[in-house]
Amino acid sequence: MEAKAYFINLRVSPKKARFYLPAIKKMKPAESLEFLMYESTDAAVILYKAIKSAISSAKQILKVEDNLLNFKLLSVEQGQKLKRYRPGSRGNAKSINRRMSHIKIILEAIKTPVKPVKSVKSVKSVKSVKPVKSVKSVESVESVKSVESVKSVKPVKSVKSEKKVKKLFNK
C-alpha cells in the first residue's frame, strides 16, 4: 500500500530543494519533519510543508500511524521558468530565470513482520521418580521454628559511632 502526493510549481529552485534530499531519504517521514523544522531556508520550509501534507494524506488513505510510514520515492524535478529581465549597461538587458520545482512524494506503510506461532513440543514422560528425602531428626526442625519465632534483634551499638553522630548533629 502506498500514498502519493505531488506538489507542482513550488517557488523554490530544484537545486536548492535537492540539497536536503540525501539526508531526508534515510529518515522516516516523522523524523524528517523534526529535522526540517530547525532549518531556516525557504527550501526547507517548503519541503516541511510538503512532507507534512503527504503524511496526513497517507494517514487517511492507509489508515496507519505516521511512525509506520517510510519513503518509497522522494524526488524534486524542474518545473517552469519565469523569465525576467534586468536592465544592464549600454542598453543591454540581463535575463533572470526564476525556477520552480515539482516535488513528488510516495509513502508506503512498513510491513510489520508477523511471527509464526510456534507449536508446543510434547513433554517426554519421566522414566523414574526419585523419592523425597525425609527429615532425619526432629531437633533440627524445632531449632528452625525457634529462629522464626524471634521477631527482631537489635544491633549492637558501638560507643564510638554514637559519639560521632552526636558531634555531627550538635554543630
- Tens digits of residue pLDDT in 87-96: 999 999 999 9
Q: Report residue 49: phi and psi, to 5°.
A: -65, -40
Higher pLDDT, 120 or 28: 28
CATH of the domain at 48: 3.90.470.10
The answer to the question of residue 28 being in a domain is: yes
The answer to the question of residue 167 being in a domain is: no
- Please identify which residue in the block is written with the cell numbers 540581463: 94
Whether 102 and 10 have beta carbons less than 8 Å apart is answered as yes
Helix (H) or strand (E) holding 171: none
The answer to the question of residue 157 being in a domain is: no
Distance from C-alpha of 119 to C-alpha of 40, rounded to nearest angstrom: 56
The model scores a pTM over 0.75: no
| 107-135 residue pLDDT tens | 999 877 666 767 666 666 656 666 666 55
List the grid coordinates of 123. 513433554
List the grid coordinates of 136. 532425619
The answer to the question of residue 133 being in a domain is: no
The answer to the question of residue 78 being in a domain is: yes
Whether 36 and 20 have beta carbons less than 8 Å apart is answered as yes
pLDDT for the residue numbered 111: 79
Question: Mapping DSSP to helix (H, G, I), strand (E, B) and coil, where does residue 33 land?
Answer: helix
Whether 33 and 86 have beta carbons less than 8 Å apart is answered as no
The answer to the question of residue 160 being in a domain is: no
List the grid coordinates of 115. 511471527
Instruction: Count the residues in the chain.
Output: 171
Q: Which residues lie below 8 Å from residue 98, measured CB to CB, with a gap of 6+? A: 11, 81, 82, 83, 84
- Cβ atoms within 10 Å, residue 75: 15
Distance from C-alpha of 77 to C-alpha of 52, rounded to nearest angstrom: 19
Using the predicted structure, report yes or no on whether residue 151 has a pLDDT greater than 60: no
Distance from C-alpha of 110 to C-alpha of 97, rounded to nearest angstrom: 41
Using the predicted structure, report yes or no on whether residue 78 has a pLDDT greater than 70: yes
- Work out how many domains the chain is built from and give that number: 1
The answer to the question of residue 159 being in a domain is: no
Range of the domain at 91: 2-109
The answer to the question of residue 138 being in a domain is: no
Please compute, for residue 132, the number of CA atoms within 13 A of its CA located in the half-sphere on the CB side: 2
